[in-house]
Structure 1
Amino acid sequence: MLARIFGGDKPPIGLKYRASNWFIVSTVTLSVFTDVFLYGVIVPVIPFALRERAHVDEDRVQYWVSVLLAVYGAGLIVSSPICGFFSDRISARRWPLLLGLIALLGATIMLNVATSVPVYVIGRLLQGISAAVVWVVGLALLADTVPKEMLAQYIGYVSLGMTTGFMIGPLLGGVLFTKAGYNGVWALCYAFIGLDLVCRVVLIEKKDARRWATEEALSMPPQESTSASSGNVHRTASNEAEADAEAEAPDAEDITETLPQTKPTTKLRKLRSHLPPVITLLASRRLLAALFASIVQASLVASFDSILPIFVDEKFGWGSLQSGILYLTIVIPTLASPIVGYFSDKYGGRLFCFVGFLLSCPLFVLLRLVTHNSLSQKVLLIALLVLIGCAMTLLFPPIMAEITHVVIAKEESSPPGAMGKGGAYAQAYALFNVAFAVGTLVGPIWAGLIKQNYGWNTMAWTLGLLAGVTALPCLVWVDGSLRKSKRKVFSRRYQNESNV
């Protein structure tokens, strides 16, 4: 029976559905949601646990809360590149995902039963490591699975899972802690981990499914179906990436890669073939622009964690429940993330990133207008937060899809195999993960310290300025160099006129 479920000589039960795009995307989305949800759901619980269970003095609670946040970020930042390096060198994505979930379960148990500060610290560190596995390996699995021309649309669903978990985690944590007590919060955590475990165990990767694949057994994208019908059913993930790269127009980073091959260029390409893929990726200005955009976007979203609850308490007298509900104003617009991804795939991500950051600039600055307690001021704050949520929704799908597009462009402009046996998707998303983690650390510190020392108004315009400045590199580098794009357009026009 187990052989029929997990596969043997015969196709496993439900192969068509377990290896389908929608199930793999749903599993990755659920994994991201579970990770982010577990990060946030315990935020209202930690101060109580430190006081009552770890016997931390009242005046030291804030300090240790900050330390636990920093430890999580440190685990995420340090382990992400390691996960990316090893993930691109093994054939399976599912097994690292399962190991990451085991680490998350261990972290959750430790945080649940902890009665001392060191155990809390180790639990949060382990939570950060498991988050690195989910983000790096999960997004690489997504890039392996879906057609590249639809990547941003599918990433929109992942974005929806992330923002939903990020925003409702603290809200449900506070409600459960109030209504069901300390263990009630952890019961919900275990429920999500159990559901996530079932999905990760049931999932079958596309490359594994091709052992039994037929037209009836597996729904594959058109380019994969064509390859399977010609007998090439044992393609590796790196072969798929190369095939996808060949189908797209070249978008090489450096001008030398677009010129006729010369002796210096040949030497340069040979030198690049001996460099680690992560170094080659970091030499890309296009990728650096996407990583900078990731840092800023995460900083803008995470900045509300340290300022919004305190601000609405000071101005409107709202408690934790009202401030938690207020976060929904930012979450609801993210329901449109798949739609944004669809149009980003169709028209490119440059315009969406540019407009998203450009709109965020005045919206953050206008937060200065919320100055006193009145109905009109509450409506103004809610309206601004909804619009900020809309602007943030324009950013996440195209930025994450840009990471994959950069890898494809680099594979096109590099010697065969230079980006590694399995490509460099996991390493690229490891860099994205590090950038996003840096943003989640920088945002709350930036907003909290500026508000504390210089006031709400200064905090608002500095965040707006940060968003506005980020719009420029997005305009220039997302989807490739803007100068090169114009050059290609003029070249096509010239060729058309010559033909006429």
Structure 2
Amino acid sequence: MQKKSIWQSTLSWLSQDFAEGSAPPFLLRHRSSKWLILTTICMAVFTDIFLYGLIVPVIPFALEQRSGVPPQRTQYWISLLIAIYGAALITFSPLCGYLADRSTSRRLPLIVGLLALAGATVMLNVGNSIVALVVGRVLQGISAAVVWVVGLALLADTVGKEQIGQAMGWVGMSMSLGILASPLLGGVVYDRGGYNAVFAMAYVLIGVDIVLRLVMVERKIAVRWLPEEEKEKGDIEGGLGSPRGPDVESSPERPETEKEQPEATANTTPRTDSAASAAVPSTQRRAKLPPVLSLLASRRLLAALWGCLAQATLMTCFDSVLPLHVHETFGWTSLGAGLVFLPITIPSFLAPLAGWISDRYGPRWPATLGFILAAPCFVCLRFVTANTLHTKILLCALLAVLGLALASAMPPLMAEITYVIEAKERKRPGLFGEKGAYAQAYGLFNMAFAGGCLVGPIWAGMVRERAGWGTMGWSLGALSLLSAVPVVVWVGGFIGGKGERGGGKGG
């Protein structure tokens, strides 16, 4: 009985299920601030993605030296191990989204996900077989599903739509830094300190991450003790539990069935009681539909999800081919294979600026221009085939422009998920129920991003192996250019509609 009581107390502490009338947590105002929550989520994203990409530059050597994989099978196992991470993300993201929208706490699943990540890191560190590496990658994918779904939903709860673009810009920067800097540091540390030194970095990050997650207090919990004036600032929740009321400037693309039904305004004749009562069952039926189905009915959301899938494909494609290509072409070791990711990493610091532009002018144009800018850079990779100073400079320049393009596209697309939910809720209050659908929407985003993580390494690795480096480049360029079409047409609202503003002050 005592064990049960201790277990329940621990669970209540982790989920911050405080008893009614209890004293406020220590330093509540600071622990529940926007910036601490944003920092916590950014750190969680960075840690997860950093550990995902940490072994990219060292895995070719680890597979041969630790797992006994023959050199001719190295490319196959590199692509497969990276893709397994994406497959686990796709599998567990919808489940995490469904459970998170029905959970009373966002912090508890975040801590559970971190424990899974720690287990995955140990498996990848001490394992010396293919089976251990595969299990470690699966656990990493499960942890990532929790971090991305629950973490982004918590961020949307906290900052609201007015600042969600800039917040997603910081998350996008953290993601870009993690996914692109991890091969850089992994290669350098492996070259200087060996395999265990690489994972020592991982353990340090996990330690910092768990401290932040334990310190953080969710705003919906902190509201019990915060002064009334803080509640009135709209600084408590950006979620659907506290609707902001109609916002005609932010009208989304609506399904055709909605467009056929004119909306009542203050200047129209009020409906009769019979008409109003007839509309109630229809609204109730809509509210009973699973939120995922309502979300997937939006072409605007589907366009954003496609953009996320394409962006993740273009971002992760280098993980399976770039270290191997520079090794074969320039004779670079793991140190050079890690340093070559630096040009594509530095531009990711501009992601918050792209998010700010999205908040102010809408998500359409920064995302579209990012895809258009990336296309010719991928095509021009075909010229990086000789071991000369000119081609080395060209490769770094192309990677730098690609980094800028990818950093411009991702934050607006991530913010668009929130814009769509808020716009749909304004049109049909109560559509997603009392607890909203942020986690389920970001579960869909996570599936799209995971699809890119799955497709990117396999696409690049297999095309390079069978058709060559040049074909790989122009095929990815074609994907980037084609992806700009649905983004420019539907992201932020249908381009031919009126007032298709995405959530900022312009479209």
Output the TM-score relative to the length of structure 1: 0.87
C-alpha spacing 1:56/1:251, structure 2 compared with 1 (3 Å): closer
* Contact 1:101–1:193 (CA under 8 A) maintained in structure 2: yes
Cα separation, 2, equivalents of 1:102 and 1:4: 16
CA-based RMSD of the aligned residues comes to 2.9
Equivalent residue number for residue 138 of structure 1: 151
C-alpha spacing 1:220/1:378, structure 2 compared with 1 (3 Å): farther
Secondary structure in 1 matching 2:424: helix
Equivalent residue number for residue 164 of structure 1: 177
Cα separation, 2, equivalents of 1:381 and 1:132: 33
Equivalent residue number for residue 234 of structure 2: 223
Pairwise CA distance, 1:471: 1.0
Secondary structure in 2 matching 1:482: coil
C-alpha spacing 1:332/1:10, structure 2 compared with 1 (3 Å): same
* Contact 1:30–1:161 (CA under 8 A) maintained in structure 2: yes
Cα separation, 1, equivalents of 2:499 and 2:168: 28
Pairwise CA distance, 1:21: 0.7
Cα separation, 1, equivalents of 2:378 and 2:81: 28
* Contact 1:273–1:415 (CA under 8 A) maintained in structure 2: no
Equivalent residue number for residue 250 of structure 1: 251
Cα separation, 1, equivalents of 2:279 and 2:388: 66
Pairwise CA distance, 1:55: 5.2
Correspondence for 1:358 among 372, 385, 398: 372
Amino acid at match of 2:325: F
Secondary structure in 2 matching 1:483: coil
Cα separation, 2, equivalents of 1:435 and 1:4: 34
Pairwise CA distance, 1:319: 2.7
Amino acid at match of 2:91: V
Equivalent residue number for residue 316 of structure 1: 330
Equivalent residue number for residue 496 of structure 1: none
Pairwise CA distance, 1:369: 3.3
C-alpha spacing 1:39/1:148, structure 2 compared with 1 (3 Å): same
Cα separation, 2, equivalents of 1:383 and 1:477: 32
Equivalent residue number for residue 166 of structure 2: 153
Cα separation, 1, equivalents of 2:238 and 2:411: 26
Matches within 5 A, 1:272-291: 272-291=286-305
Secondary structure in 2 matching 1:484: coil
Equivalent residue number for residue 218 of structure 2: 205
Cα separation, 2, equivalents of 1:343 and 1:487: 16
Pairwise CA distance, 1:65: 4.1
Secondary structure in 1 matching 2:251: coil
Kindly indicate which of the two structures has a greater share of residues assigned to helix. 1
Pairwise CA distance, 1:190: 1.1
Equivalent residue number for residue 183 of structure 1: 196
Aligned length, in residue pairs:
474
Cα separation, 1, equivalents of 2:470 and 2:67: 38
Pairwise CA distance, 1:50: 4.7
Output the TM-score relative to the length of structure 2: 0.86
1:44-91 CA-to-partner distances (Å, cap 9, x unmatched) read 444555555555566655554444333322211100000000000112
C-alpha spacing 1:360/1:47, structure 2 compared with 1 (3 Å): closer
C-alpha spacing 1:309/1:260, structure 2 compared with 1 (3 Å): same
Cα separation, 2, equivalents of 1:367 and 1:34: 30
Equivalent residue number for residue 295 of structure 1: 309
Equivalent residue number for residue 405 of structure 1: 419
* Contact 2:253–2:500 (CA under 8 A) maintained in structure 1: no
Equivalent residue number for residue 471 of structure 1: 484
Equivalent residue number for residue 377 of structure 1: 391
Cα separation, 2, equivalents of 1:116 and 1:387: 38
Equivalent residue number for residue 428 of structure 2: 414
Secondary structure in 1 matching 2:498: helix
Equivalent residue number for residue 436 of structure 1: 449
Cα separation, 2, equivalents of 1:248 and 1:75: 39
Secondary structure in 1 matching 2:404: helix
Correspondence for 1:423 among 431, 436, 444: 436
C-alpha spacing 1:244/1:155, structure 2 compared with 1 (3 Å): farther
* Contact 1:89–1:420 (CA under 8 A) maintained in structure 2: no
* Contact 2:252–2:500 (CA under 8 A) maintained in structure 1: no
Equivalent residue number for residue 266 of structure 2: none
Secondary structure in 2 matching 1:222: coil
Secondary structure in 2 matching 1:336: helix
Secondary structure in 2 matching 1:10: coil
Pairwise CA distance, 1:165: 1.0
Pairwise CA distance, 1:385: 1.4
1:343-401 CA-to-partner distances (Å, cap 9, x unmatched) read 11000011111111112222222223334333232222222211111111110110000
Pairwise CA distance, 1:237: 4.7
Give unpaired runs (5+ residues) of structure 2. 1-9, 264-270, 502-507
* Contact 1:303–1:444 (CA under 8 A) maintained in structure 2: yes
Secondary structure in 2 matching 1:395: helix
Cα separation, 1, equivalents of 2:394 and 2:80: 34
Cα separation, 2, equivalents of 1:204 and 1:317: 50
1:253-301 CA-to-partner distances (Å, cap 9, x unmatched) read 1244343269898776554322110111111111110011011111111
Equivalent residue number for residue 402 of structure 2: 388
Correspondence for 1:114 among 127, 146, 155: 127
1:307-352 CA-to-partner distances (Å, cap 9, x unmatched) read 3223333433333222321211111111111111111100001111
Amino acid at match of 2:234: Q
Cα separation, 1, equivalents of 2:123 and 2:464: 34
Amino acid at match of 1:315: T
* Contact 1:20–1:220 (CA under 8 A) maintained in structure 2: no
